[in-house]
Chain A
Amino acid sequence: MRVLLVDDEIELVSTLAERLAMRDIEAEWTSTAEEALELVRRNRYDLAVLDVKIPRMSGLVLKKKMEEIQPSLHFIFMTGHGSEKDFAQGAAEAGAGFYLVKPVKIELLMERMEEIFRGQGGQE
């Protein structure tokens, strides 16, 4: 399973990638939307885990752009603490269970990843 993590909090996203790698998940990370798009153009991923609010581009817009490049990509959103409107938009894009509020327990993230690969979510 190959995962791309996108979050502007570098110390968060790099640590999460390392912890996923310890669980046999091939995880790459970036802190910018621009680099995320570049990585998706160059590599194939099974899943992208996106922060909802990243500099210069919302996670929702980034998702749409990534989908144009790789239509089969699945998504999980992570957020600091969005409004009900944010939740509705994020849940509409990925499914309610795939919009996770930080701090996210790694066990929950792993659970959601497994669900996606059993074909049960991460994309509408």
Chain B
Amino acid sequence: MKEEERILARRGLEFFGKVSASISHEIKNVFAIVGESSGLMEDLLLMHSKKGTTVDAERFLTLLARIRKHVNRGDEIVKCMNRFAHSVDEPVKVVDLVELTRLVLSLASRFAALQGVALEPPPEEKGVALETDPFLLEQLLWISVHVAMAACDDAKRVFVHVKGKPGGAEIVLSGLRLPPSSFPEMLPTETKTLVKSLGAQLSTDGGESRIRLLLPSRLKDERGEAGQ
């Protein structure tokens, strides 16, 4: 295995681990809220039976609605986890770039919240089909989103747009104030290999206020042939 492939494999595992750990953290929070809400219901019932107070039905309905809400939240988290886990199934496949971008933003949302940053998902309603390596693309997009979060302007909002282009598509992250010429230094070492493997271009434009990721409509393998 070449050195750059070894680094890419290692970084890929680290990425997978980081996302999995974040998801488990989120799920624990869901369990904690469900646990506390049901615990409060139990406390109220015990108090009712001990003191003979009236059971507040409205209160119980509110707590039950909260439990339902967080069960749904947990379900969404697990759906994201499942989609992410299956992104390693095939090395090359046709994906909807809008959906894939939304997935990565959803996976990064906890990290964004910790930094006080809001990630605005692509508003595009129409999908953009692309043949690519989904896992490598998620990794490259994850890196781009993290650089954007570190470099966003005072509004602390990163806007993401996805657009089909002749021969491919682009993802644009805006709302940034990138320190002049520091963009390449902000990228981790594996970025170059990811960009090359995906046949992509990663750059800044718009007066250092945007990151642009250009992707080909069809991935070619190292021999220059169309992907599987």
A interface, CB within 8 angstroms of B = 8-9, 11-12, 15-16, 18-19, 22, 53-56, 79-83, 101-106
Contacts and interface: CB of A to CB of B under 8 A. Distances in A.
- Range, interface on chain B: 20 to 34
A12 B33 contact: yes
Interface stretch (B20-28, B178-186, B196-204): B20-28
Given A9-B29, A12-B32, A19 B66 contact: no
Contact of B35 (A22, A83, A103): A103
Contacts of B40: 15, 18-19
Given A80-B26, A81-B21, A9 B114 contact: no
B91 interface: no
Contacts of B113: 8, 55
Interface in B80-139: 113-116
Contacts of A105: 35
Given A19-B39, A102-B32, 18 more contacts: A9-B29, A9-B32, A9-B33, A11-B33, A11-B37, A12-B29, A12-B32, A12-B33, A15-B36, A15-B40, A22-B47, A54-B114, A55-B116, A80-B28, A80-B29, A80-B32, A81-B21, A102-B29
Among B27, B31, B33, max chain A CB count under 10 A is at B33
B66 A56 contact: no
B62 to A, nearest CB: 11
Contacts of B43: 19, 22
Interface of B: 21, 24-29, 31-37, 39-40, 43, 47, 66, 70, 113-116
20 contacts: A11-B36, A11-B37, A11-B70, A12-B32, A15-B33, A15-B40, A19-B39, A53-B114, A79-B25, A80-B25, A80-B26, A80-B32, A81-B21, A81-B28, A82-B25, A101-B28, A102-B32, A103-B28, A103-B34, A103-B35
**Secondary structure of the B side of the interface?**
helix
Nearest to B26: A80
Nearest to B67: A11
B32 A103 contact: yes
Contact of A56 (B24, B28, B33, B116): B116
Among A19, A83, A104, max chain B CB count under 10 A is at A19
Contacts of A8: 113
Contacts of A22: 43, 47
A74 B169 CA distance: 54
A66 B76 CA distance: 36
A53 B116 CA distance: 12
A19 B44 CA distance: 9
Nearest to A17: B36
Contacts of A104: 32
Nearest to A32: B116
Contact of A103 (B21, B31, B114): B31
A55 B114 contact: yes
A110 B113 CA distance: 30
